[in-house]
Amino acid sequence: MEVFLSTRSDLKSVPDCYVLPPDKRPKQHDAPVGQAIPVIDIQNIVDPDDRAEIVQQIVKACQEFGLFQVVNHGVPGKLMDDAMSVLIDFFTKTPAEYKAQFITDARDKSCVLYTSNLIYDDHEEGIRYWRDCFIHHCYPLEDHIKNWPEDPPKYQEVIGPYSVGVRKFLMTILDLLCEGLGLEPGYFAGDHSKTQLLSVNHHIPCPDPSLTLGHAEHSDPNLIAALHQCDVPGLQTCKDGQWIGVQPIPHAFVIIPGVQFKPISNGMFSSPRHRVVANTKKHRTTLGSFLVPTDDSLTEPSKALINESNPQRYKPFTMGEFMAGWRGRLEEDVGLQRFVIE
Ligand X SMILES: O=C(O)CCC(=O)C(=O)O
Residue 235 binds to ligand X (criterion: CB under 6 A): yes
Residue 121 binds to Fe ion (criterion: CB under 5 A): no
Q: Which range, of 52-60, 171-179, 228-236, 299-307, touches ligand X by CB under 6 A?
A: 228-236
CA dist 128 and 113 (Å) reads: 15
CA dist 69 and 256 (Å) reads: 9
Q: DSSP H helical segments within the chain, as ranges?
A: 48-64, 77-92, 96-99, 141-144, 155-181, 261-264, 319-326, 332-336
- What x-and-dash track marks residues 276-315 binding ligand X by CB under 6 A? x---------x-x---------------------------
Residue-by-residue DSSP string for 218-260: E---SSEEEEEE-SS--EEEEETTEEEEE---TT-EEEEE-TT
Q: Which of 99, 136, 137, 215 touches ligand X (CB under 6 A)?
A: 215
CA dist 307 and 18 (Å) reads: 50
Instruction: Tell me how far, at minimum, the Cβ of 218 lies from Fe ion, in Å.
Output: 6
Selection from Fe ion, ligand X, none that 121 binds (CB < 5 to 8 A by kind) is none
Pairing of strands 242-246, 33-34: parallel
Cβ-proximal residue to Fe ion, closest one: 220
- What x-and-dash track marks residues 93-122 binding ligand X by CB under 6 A? ------------------------------
Return the number of other C-beta atoms located less than 10 Å from residue 102's C-beta: 19
Looking at residues 170 to 209 of the shown chain, list those that interact with ligand X (rule: CB under 6 A).
199, 201
Instruction: Tell me how far, at minimum, the Cβ of 16 lies from ligand X, in Å.
Output: 24
Looking at residues 182 to 221 of the shown chain, list those that interact with Fe ion (rule: CB under 5 A).
220
Q: What share of the chain is helix, strand, coil (3-state, %, to 5)?
A: 30, 20, 45
Identify whether the C-beta of residue 252 lies closer than 8 Å to the C-beta of residue 71.
Answer: yes
Q: Which of 274, 278, 292, 319 touches ligand X (CB under 6 A)?
A: 274
Residue 332 binds to Fe ion (criterion: CB under 5 A): no
Rule CB under 6 A: which residues touch ligand X? 199, 201, 215, 220, 227, 229, 234-235, 274, 276, 286, 288
